[in-house]
Structure 1
Amino acid sequence: MLTGDKLETATCTAKNAHLITRNQDIHIFRSVTTRGEAHLELNAFRRKHDCALVISGDSLEVCLKYYEYESWSLRVSVPLWFAADAPHPEGSDSASCCRSARGSSPCAVGDGGNDVSMIQEADCGVGVEGKEGKQASLAADFSVTQFKHLGRLLMVHGRNSYKRSAALSQFVIHRSLCISAMQAVFSSVFYFASVPLYQGFLIIGYSTIYTMFPVFSLVLDKDVKSEVAMLYPELYKDLLKGRPLSFKTFLTWVLISIYQGSIIMYGALLLFDSEFLHIVSISFTSLILTELLMVALTIQTWHWLMIVGELLSLSCYIASLVFLPSLIDIYFITTVSFLWKVTVITLVSCLPLYILKYLRRRFSPPNYSKLTT
């Protein structure tokens, strides 16, 4: 966490952020320039117990130069003013530093004009509208009116934003890879002939009106209520591990896309009657329904706009069939044969994934699931 350029600012910020308690003793490290002075100050602090350390950058540089091991082995409750890219002292819980973060992803918080450069340099800048004006607020990525709102910005909005962005990006990948897998299977069956599976409006409609609304409605999803996220800030720690969006989740969705695309395509090739147009009708309808079902299975907290998005996409597809007689056989899709074939293919592509998801949540539930029951 980046604080101001004064020892008093670092101390007040640490207290407001509850890094240290209000009645905890604070040891202000005296300004030192020589090895002897640093040795005396380190011994003086070592004799204290359950005390927070406040040290300036110049004094810390001297200590690290002559007593690097001793400086980092101090057992303090909460060290203040240590560099963010340096290891925490043994036994410490957190650190508050002053404009010295390198090799990390800092979040800069400021309320004055002298904080503008710090806010712009950080990966995420938060400006507080205060008595010093709105310079910091205008230069920041996010703006809050009071410092206490920073907790909700991080624990609620920041956490939801990360998880929603992860889910949205994965579904965009799934949506594209699924239809690509179908095209690959189709080409391999017909000896890699350069014949597209879907033509014209079907490709454009699949990427826009047929699947866009449900997929983008995932930005409204949330796993826990805002009050629960504020009450249990430990939930934020799961995001630090990068599990919602990692190589593992990416490969998982790639396998899901290949599996579903292959099932839909092979199912349509096995169950179609006699015309090529029937393959397109069965596979494309199954693809749309699979995508809508996958979004529904991923949602954890339903919002009324999500329901509208699902119904709107399905309605747009059904309504557009009237204008696509050359691409989809309208008479065939009204038969019982078409309905049971599409139903079987859709269930085979989605039901195993739902069972695996249920078993995983049953035997290895995530941390937030304990707070939703």
Structure 2
Amino acid sequence: MLTGDKLETAICIAKSSGLFSKTDNIHVFGNVQNRKEAHTELNILRRKSNVALVMTGTSLDICLQYYEEDVAELICQCVAVVCCRCSPEQKAQIVNLLIRYKKPARVAAIGDGGNDVSMIQAAHVGIGIDAREGKQASLAADFSITQFHHICRLFLVHGRFCYKRSCALSQFVMHRSLIITIIQAIFSCVFYFASVSLYQGILMAAYATAYTMLPVFALVVDQDLSSANALTYPELYKELSKGRSLSFKTLCLWILASIYQAGVIMYGALFAFDLDMIHIVAISFTALILTELIMGISLLFYAGSLLILDDVFDRQFILSWMFILKTSAITVISCLPLYILKLLQHRFSPSTYEKVS
């Protein structure tokens, strides 16, 4: 807590807000005037563990002048830290200190007054409270709230959902682009790198926009669990720091899934069923769309376009039972193993949110 209040007031606020608990060992950092005194006080603090630190702005200036890195290390080891009699510049200085020495941690700053603006702008995430002191903080912040207790919902619900949605959306977009690229690469290899594109302009444009836009919108509003559960189990928020939703492992899994599905779709259309070029395009592209949109309402839009694009699809062929059977078989082969693996993972090694949802 960074405040301009005097020491006694700052301690009372910390206790009443729950920042300091009744069992915390509160260590009041001595008023230091030079480097030697700062070194002595820092050594005293270093020998203690699990303490709540209270420090004045004057002492903070001296310590940061000579022992900047030590201060960053020690304040992160404390249970809680209160810096009183801080100027707006000192608040921003502490935020920059944590950003500089505690990578890759992300720093959030919360303030409600004009003297908190520099601190809010210096942090990775600035949160302004629209309070009696004015709107300067809320206007300068990344997020604005009206009550301090809304912070729990901001982090545990909105923050978690935004992170999960961003991870899912980025990986879906990557998979969507990668799978059609691999299909084109396989097609080029099979036909001796002829300068011919498997899917012509309108199909490529529609695939990246109209055909796959609803899954994107669905991912934007997706929730893996209810807001009530997200608030009830704050441990779920801590899982995000492990980066399991978007990591090198998940990237490799998506790449492998794209390679497998692209191979099944392309080789299935080429060798298992038909060698007529227009039929290859119809079968492979329909199987691709079914693979991407198997649970989406966009299928209705695609089904209608099959009947409209006469220059791309053979209408007589796509209305036949043979076309339906061929595309269904390829779709099942490309999707079923992945769904089976997902069900097995859910059954034998569920994630934390799956256990509570």
Q: 1:256 to 1:268 in 2, by over 3 A?
A: same
1:340 aligns with 2:339: no
Q: Is structure 2 residue 110 aligned with structure 1 residue 113?
A: no
- Measure the CA separation in 2 of the matches of 1:111 and 1:12: 19
**Deviation at residue 341 of structure 1 after TM alignment:** 0.9
Amino acid at match of 2:159: G
Equivalent in the alignment of 1:55: 55
Match of 1:90 in 2: none
1:43 to partner: Cα distance: 9.0
User: What is the alpha-carbon distance in structure 2 between the residues aligned to residue 123 and residue 69 of structure 1?
Assistant: 22
Partner of 1:101, secondary structure, is helix
Residue of structure 2 equivalent to 1:186: 187
Amino acid of the residue matched to residue 212 of structure 1? M
- Deviations along 1:110-147, one digit per CA (max 9) or x if unpaired, are 11112222212221111101111001111111100011
Q: Report what 2:87 is aligned to.
A: none
Partner of 2:238: 237
Q: TM-score, normalised by structure 2?
A: 0.84
SS in 1 for 2:305: helix
The letter of the residue matching 2:26 is I
Asked if 1:3 corresponds to 2:5, the answer is no
- Do structure 1's residue 20 and structure 2's residue 27 form an aligned pair? no
Q: Deviations over 1:163-221 (max 9, x none)?
A: 10000000000000010000000000000111000112111111111111113311221
Report the Cα offset of residue 258 of structure 1: 1.5
Aligned partner letter, 1:54: V
Q: Which residue, out of 91, 99, 103, partners 1:102?
A: 99
Question: In structure 2, do the counterparts of structure 1 residues 139 and 183 end up closer, same or farther at CA, with 3 Å as the change threshold?
Answer: same
Distance in 1, Cα, partners of 2:72 & 2:263: 60
Displacement after TM superposition at 1:342 (Å): 0.7
Partner in structure 1 of residue 88 of structure 2 = none
Cα deviation for residue 154 of structure 1 reads: 0.7
Partner of 2:86: none
Q: RMSD of the TM alignment (CA)? A: 3.2
Mapped contact 1:286–1:342 kept (Cα < 8 A) = yes
Report which structure shows greater RCO (CA 8 Å, sep ≥6).
1
Could you say what secondary structure the match of 1:331 adopts? helix
Instruction: State the alpha-carbon separation in 2 of the partners of residues 356 and 217 from structure 1.
Output: 23
Identity of aligned residues (%): 54
* Residue of structure 1 equivalent to 2:346: 361
Distance 1:14-1:323 versus aligned 2 partners, 3 A rule: farther
Q: Does 1:132 align with 2:133?
A: yes
* Residue of structure 1 in register with 2:283 after alignment: 282
Task: Write the distance in 1 (CA, Å) between the matches of 2:49 and 2:179.
Answer: 60
- Distance in 2 separating the partners of 1:17 and 1:286: 58
TM-score, normalization by structure 1: 0.81
Q: Give the direction of change, closer, same or farther, for the CA distance of 1:174–1:102 in structure 2 (3 Å limit).
A: same
The answer to whether the 8 Å contact 1:210/1:316 transfers is yes
Match of 1:306 in 2: none
* C-alpha distance in structure 2 between counterparts of 1:283 and 1:52, whole Å: 64
* Contact preservation (8 Å) 1:7, 1:54: no
SS in 2 for 1:198: coil
1:34 deviates by 4.8
Equivalent in the alignment of 2:216: 215
Task: State the match for 1:196 in structure 2.
Answer: 197
Q: How far does residue 348 in structure 1 lie from its aligned partner after superposition? A: 0.9
- Aligned equivalents of 1:110, 1:276: Cα separation in 2: 64
| Structure 1 residue 74: Cα displacement | 10
1:88 is aligned to none
Given that 1:127 and 1:140 are in contact with CA atoms closer than 8 Å, whether structure 2 keeps it comes out as: yes
Which consecutive residues of structure 2, in runs of 5 or more, have no partner in the other structure?
A: 84-92
Deviates more, 1:174-183 or 1:246-255: 246-255
Ranges in structure 1 where 5+ consecutive residues have no aligned partner:
83-96, 297-309
| Larger helix share, 1 or 2 | 2
Q: Is the 8 Å Cα contact of residues 130 and 137 (structure 2) preserved in structure 1?
A: yes
